[in-house]
Each structure stands twice: as C-alpha cells, then as structure tokens.
C-alpha cells in the first residue's frame, strides 16, 4: 500500500462512468487530518468535479478503528510553542502555520458542503473534530454500529470548529450546545437524530454497497445521481433490516433541552453539573458528559456558547470566516497549547486553564476571539460563498 496519507482510485460503473474513491490512509494516527491530507483531498475533489466521467465520490478511511479522530495536533502544538516564544506572541497573525492549516481545512470543509456531485462518506468507527468537519458536509453520510461521533474540543482548549457553529446550531433544541459544552460521544442512531448522519448501515454491508454502486448506470447530471444514490442507500438499509433504537442523547432530549435553555451560560453550566442524582446515577453516558464539562477549559465553554449565539443567522461561509479568527485567537492564547500538552504531549491529564473559571473570564478576554483581523475584501476566506452571493443578486 502507498505511503501517501490519502489514497485515490476510481471504480468503473456499468455505463462507462466512474466512482471516485478517496481513502484516508493514516491508520496509526486514527487518520488524524494533516495539512498534507487536506491539500491532497482538495485538489482531487476539484479534479473529480471537473471530470464528467466521475459520477460520485466515496470518502472512506483505512482501518477498522476510525474514519478520522480529528486534526493533526502535533504540528499545531509545535507552531504554537514557537509562536508563544517569539517576539510576535501578541500578534494573532504571528503563527503562519496555524493560519495556513485552519484556512485550508475550513476551505476543504466548505468545498465538501457545496460539492456539486454526490459524496458518500462512510463514517465507521471514531469520527471526531476534523473528522466531523469532513463528514458533516457530505451529501450522503453513513454511520455504522461502531460509529462514535464527538466534538471534544473543550478538553483541549479549542472550540467546535470546522463548521461546528453551523451544524451544532441546527440540531434539535439545545442539543448542539450540550454537545459543545460536554464533548459527549454519540452513537449511530443519535448521529442520525441530530442530523450529522443520514442513515445507518452494517459495516459488513459496505462491499455489497460498493458493488451495487458499480452496477448502477449513472447519469451525466449531478442532480440525477444524488437521487440514485439516495435510492440505493435506503434500499440497502431496508434489505439489511437495520434495527435502530434511541441513543442516550435522544432519550435525554427533553431534560437536556430544559437544562440548556437558561438565559446565561453560567446557569446552563450549573444546571448540567448539578443534575439530580436520580437522573445521573447508573447513567455512565451522562456522568462522563458532566465530568468532561467540569474538567474542560472555561474559555472553550464560553467561546462555544458565544459562537453559537453570534452564528444563529449567519451563512455557512460567514461561519467559517468567523471561526478562522476564533481559531487563531485560540492558537495565540494559553489554553489550546496547554490542552494539547496535557492530553497528547505529556499525557498527565492535568491541564492548567487560564482563567481557571468562567467567572474569572474578563469581557476584554472574549473580545479577542471576534477581532477584525482583515478588511472584508482581504479575509483569507473571502471567496467562500461568492457564487451564492452572485446568484442572490441575480435573483
């Protein structure tokens, strides 16, 4: 097998059309998304979009453990350490690597969200952080019995980025805020419930599905192929007799919605952390969610809430532009590097957050995450949504 971190090949279909297959190929790192992987995926997706013989794209991963466990934090950590020790430590634009990484990652995520042709994402195993960024925008998203999804950035001093402000805000009730604050894992059925996935299939049925996709006579029209893929997937699910039972997030929906509907963040956090023992006892999922919130970065909790509040009525392109500024502020600040150190580098699991509590967070501390770093026409992601804006003006 090639050493390339992403493998690409095509499969022939029945009528001379092709299926493009992209495979994340960094099994040892649970397919953590590196800058090289982002660049390779972006270029190949563009090439397949321009190739009329390619009807659709399959996005999958090597190994049985993970589709993608998140972004490549090692190189980001090294860049932050270097930036913090430099004479540009107070400059949000002083970390060129972080700017380049986040810009390219968000650009790829947006490319997937707005891709003309169908993208089938096979989200088997662990799908976290940057992995959800890849999966969330795919037109057809499959989870399996082994899928576990999460946005656990509160544990490393970041926030649910990669468009998290967009898709978390569009979940039922206040579930998106709860997931952002707790980093809770969800299973396949809950992933479908909160609209991070479209349907659940047994992982063992993947080979059969690919064979059916190859046997299909695809169209030159992308919209027709979207419908054909949807039909095949739903038929596959019916044939597999998939039994879907409610996951913990759905079972606790009413309670979570009530807890997270308070007017201010401090009350919301207090509500979650002081859940009645009769609810929490013998519920390992809730216990773990509460513990993650209690151990997580107060700044991350504040920022996740602030982004969702500000992003309620923004377009997807505007969300990515807002998140890029917030990500650079995290990279320039203390908690992101400290969270990676405690979790991945030293592995002592004892991050020292600054500030150490939500009440100690000063208003001026929060302003940094929404700073105006560029004029609108100079923003690195200024072109996102340009075609949408043109269409709106034409209408």
Give catalytic residues, as residue numbers. 71, 130, 153, 161
Instruction: Report how far apart, in Å, the C-alpha atoms of 223 and of each of 50, 118, 219, 231, 395 are.
Output: 15, 8, 9, 13, 21
3-state secondary structure of 236: helix
φ, ψ at 139 (rounded to 5°): -70, -30
Distance CA 274, CA 268 (A): 10
Instruction: Report how far apart, in Å, the C-alpha atoms of 88 and of each of 91, 92, 324, 341 are.
Output: 5, 8, 19, 21
Distance CA 219, CA 256 (A): 45
Q: Could you tell me if 122 and 58 are in contact, meaning their C-beta atoms sit under 8 angstroms apart?
A: yes
> Which secondary-structure segment (H or E) carries 55?
strand 54-61
> What secondary structure does DSSP assign to 204-224, as a single string?
GGHHHHHHHHHHS---SSHHH
Q: Helix, strand, coil % (nearest 5) of the chain? A: 55, 10, 35
HSE of 332, CA atoms in CB hemisphere, 13 A: 21
φ, ψ at 297 (rounded to 5°): -70, 125
Residue 330 token pair: 């995290």
Question: Which residues have C-beta within 8 Å of that of residue 47, sequence separation ≥ 6?
Answer: none
174: nearest Cα among 315, 369, 316, 304: 304
């Amino acid at each position: 097998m090639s050493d390339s971190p992403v493998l690409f090949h095509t499969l022939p279909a029945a009528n001379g059309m092709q299926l493009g297959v992209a495979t994340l190929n960094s099994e040892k790192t649970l397919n953590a998304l590196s800058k090289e992987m982002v660049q390779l995926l972006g270029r190949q997706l563009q090439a397949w979009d321009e190739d009329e013989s390619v009807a659709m794209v399959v996005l999958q991963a090597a190994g049985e453990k993970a589709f993608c466990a998140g972004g490549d934090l090692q190189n980001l950590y090294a860049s932050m350490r270097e930036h913090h020790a430099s004479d540009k430590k107070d400059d949000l634009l002083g970390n060129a690597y972080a700017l380049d990484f986040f810009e390219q990652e968000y650009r790829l995520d947006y490319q997937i969200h707005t891709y003309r042709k169908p993208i089938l994402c096979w989200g088997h195993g662990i799908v976290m952080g940057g992995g959800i960024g890849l999966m969330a925008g795919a037109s057809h998203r499959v989870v399996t019995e082994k899928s576990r999804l999460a946005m656990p950035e509160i544990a490393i001093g970041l926030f649910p980025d990669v468009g998290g402000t967009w898709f978390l805000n569009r979940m039922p009730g206040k579930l998106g805020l709860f997931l952002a604050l707790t980093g809770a894992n969800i299973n396949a059925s809950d992933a479908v419930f909160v609209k991070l996935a479209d349907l659940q299939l047994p992982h063992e049925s993947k080979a059969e599905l690919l064979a059916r996709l190859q046997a299909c006579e695809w169209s030159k029209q992308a919209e027709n192929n979207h419908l054909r893929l949807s039909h095949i997937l739903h038929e596959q699910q019916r044939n597999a007799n998939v039994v879907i039972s409610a996951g913990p997030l759905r079972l606790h929906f009413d309670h979570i919605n009530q807890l997270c509907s308070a007017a201010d963040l401090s009350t919301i956090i207090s509500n979650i952390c002081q859940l009645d023992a009769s609810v929490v006892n013998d519920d390992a999922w809730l216990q773990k969610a509460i513990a993650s919130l209690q151990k997580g970065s107060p700044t991350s909790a504040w920022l996740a809430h602030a982004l969702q509040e500000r992003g309620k009525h923004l377009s997807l392109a505007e969300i990515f532009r807002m998140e890029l500024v917030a990500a650079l502020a995290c990279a320039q600040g203390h908690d992101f590097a400290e969270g990676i150190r405690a979790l991945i580098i030293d592995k002592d699991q004892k991050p020292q957050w600054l500030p150490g509590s939500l009440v100690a967070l000063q208003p001026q501390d929060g302003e940094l995450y929404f700073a105006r770093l560029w004029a609108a026409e100079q923003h690195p992601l200024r072109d996102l949504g340009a075609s949408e804006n043109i269409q709106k003006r034409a209408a």
